């Protein structure tokens, strides 16, 4: 698991550091820099895979900026042209501690060129295993990284390989309703689903295949996930995937060969099945969250921007409770970052579990993005008067991450 992430000079992240758990929720005002944090990890992931350009960033869900806008341009921060990124796996002193860091130079013009590498280094258990110094760059291709080549030689049991693979697989998901419904193709297709939610029916079918197989679901994990999905969609008795038919979907509605459907408990038995095109967008979003948290081929590490998208506040609270359970119970030890603006999402977090972490994201008086971890301690309990939920504390401005309006 990535335990620490450090950024210098990326957009509003002039000098930024965050210590991560398994589930990490970022709250804050619009424009506070939450998405910049997610995109900085995407940039490091592209660097770990060997090259950074517009396509490498777009395929990881990062927004593309104009020339010169990736590097920090904050007033008083100095005119930085380089970006420093670093990630750690484990903690210092531990046997599995790994650190990967890289210095990057974005192209000054929008000409489609790749970013150039400066120093690129990696340590495992305090031992330097990769060292690309600036002095050696004269004999190397400045637009090609070393980490991707080095990872091919690493043992699959190596913590260094696990760190690099997590970074390489990382992506930022930002689903939208037309893509979830299957009306439009996903511009950034990935497995198990695209970054906008494309291919949801096929992914849901695989999840149900695992839940219905005693061999694939020996511990009952996938069965519990599917049961949780059905419980969260209160108007439905079940969900499933079937072949497209005119009874479920009108001929003029675009979709693939497979259609995600829900059984509406309030309809007559012959008319209960609703396709994704007619189902509520909240129901589709619940299925997407389950797929990303539990699908065996989903990334080890990923982010969902605007996690409460289209959800009723109470459903958002219930979903984040279940979602944390799905991630923490998954034997693959997944890691997730979420952004939200919905107060009730906070009430679904068990912050007494150190694996679940909440960060209030703000910008300083100089515009720099900072993230402060919200910890349940005596000070917070005093503010809550022993009974106020986190949602009310946040709205009151007691834990940070609120706009100054």
Specify the pLDDT at position 277.
Answer: 79
Specify the pLDDT at position 386.
Answer: 62
Could you give the CA distance from residue 309 to residue 316 in angstroms, rounded to a whole number?
9
For 235, the token pair is 């108007």
What pTM, to 2 d.p., does this model score? Answer: 0.93
Following CA atoms 80, 82, 86, 92 in sequence, which dihedral angle do they give, to the nearest 10 degrees? -70
Which residues, given as ranges, of the chain have pLDDT below 50? none
Fold of 2-171+299-395: Rossmann fold (3.40.50)
Residue with tokens 């280094």: 121
Q: Domain map of the chain by residue range?
A: 2-171+299-395, 190-298
Query: 227 phi and psi, to 5 degrees?
Result: -65, -35
Q: What is the pLDDT of residues 296-354, one digit of tens each?
A: 999 999 999 999 988 999 999 999 999 999 999 988 889 999 999 999 999 999 998 99
The CB-side HSE value for 194 (13 A sphere, CA atoms) comes to: 20
Specify the pLDDT at position 73.
Answer: 84
Residues 46, 60 contacting (CB under 8 angstroms): yes
For 165, the token pair is 């693979």
Specify the pLDDT at position 57.
Answer: 95
Specify the pLDDT at position 388.
Answer: 75
Specify the pLDDT at position 279.
Answer: 82
Could you give the CA distance from residue 19 to residue 9 in angstroms, rounded to a whole number?
18
Could you give the CA distance from residue 323 to residue 209 in angstroms, rounded to a whole number?
20
Under DSSP, the state recorded for 77 is S
β-pairing, 83-89 vs 98-105, is: antiparallel
Q: How far is CA 361 from the centre of its chain?
A: 16
Specify the pLDDT at position 259.
Answer: 84
Could you give the CA distance from residue 364 to residue 170 in angstroms, rounded to a whole number?
28
Q: What angle do CA 8, 14, 20 make, to 5 degrees?
A: 65
Specify the pLDDT at position 5.
Answer: 97
């Amino acid at each position: 698991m990535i335990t620490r992430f450090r950024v210098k000079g990326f957009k509003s992240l002039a000098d930024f550091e965050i210590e991560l758990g398994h589930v990490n929720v970022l709250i804050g005002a619009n424009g506070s820099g939450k998405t910049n944090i997610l995109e900085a990890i995407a940039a490091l992931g592209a660097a770990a895979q060997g090259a950074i350009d517009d396509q490498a960033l777009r395929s990881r869900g990062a927004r593309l900026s104009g020339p010169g806008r990736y590097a920090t341009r904050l007033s008083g921060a100095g005119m930085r042209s380089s970006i420093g990124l670093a990630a750690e796996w484990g903690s210092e002193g531990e046997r599995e501690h790994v650190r990967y860091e890289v210095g990057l130079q974005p192209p000054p013009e929008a000409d489609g060129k790749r970013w150039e590498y400066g120093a690129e280094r990696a340590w495992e258990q305090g031992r330097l295993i990769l060292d690309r110094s600036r002095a050696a760059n004269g004999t190397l291709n400045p637009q090609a990284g070393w980490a991707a080549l080095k990872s091919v030689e690493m043992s699959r049991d190596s913590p260094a390989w696990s760190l690099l693979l997590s970074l390489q697989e990382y992506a930022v998901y930002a689903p939208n309703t037309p893509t979830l419904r299957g009306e439009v193709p996903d511009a950034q297709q990935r497995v198990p689903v695209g970054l906008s939610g494309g291919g949801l029916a096929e992914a849901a079918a695989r999840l149900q295949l695992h839940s219905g197989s005693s061999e694939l679901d020996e511990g009952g994990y996938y069965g519990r996930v599917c049961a949780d999905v059905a419980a969260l969609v209160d108007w439905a008795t079940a969900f499933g995937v079937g072949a497209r038919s005119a009874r479920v979907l009108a001929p003029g509605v675009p979709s693939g060969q497979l259609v995600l459907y829900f059984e509406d408990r309030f309809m007559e038995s012959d008319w209960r099945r609703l396709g994704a095109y007619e189902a509520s967008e909240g129901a589709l979003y619940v299925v997407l969250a389950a797929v990303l948290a539990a699908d065996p081929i989903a990334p080890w590490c990923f982010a969902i921007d605007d996690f409460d998208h289209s959800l009723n506040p109470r459903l958002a609270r219930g979903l984040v409770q279940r979602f944390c359970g799905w991630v923490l119970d998954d034997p693959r030890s997944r890691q997730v970052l979420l952004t939200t603006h919905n107060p009730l999402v906070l009430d679904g977090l068990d912050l007494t579990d150190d694996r679940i972490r909440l960060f209030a994201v703000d910008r300083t008086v100089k515009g720099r993005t900072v993230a402060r971890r919200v910890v349940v301690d005596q000070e917070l309990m005093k503010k809550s008067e022993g009974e106020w939920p986190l949602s009310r504390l946040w709205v009151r401005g007691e834990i940070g991450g609120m706009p100054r309006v």
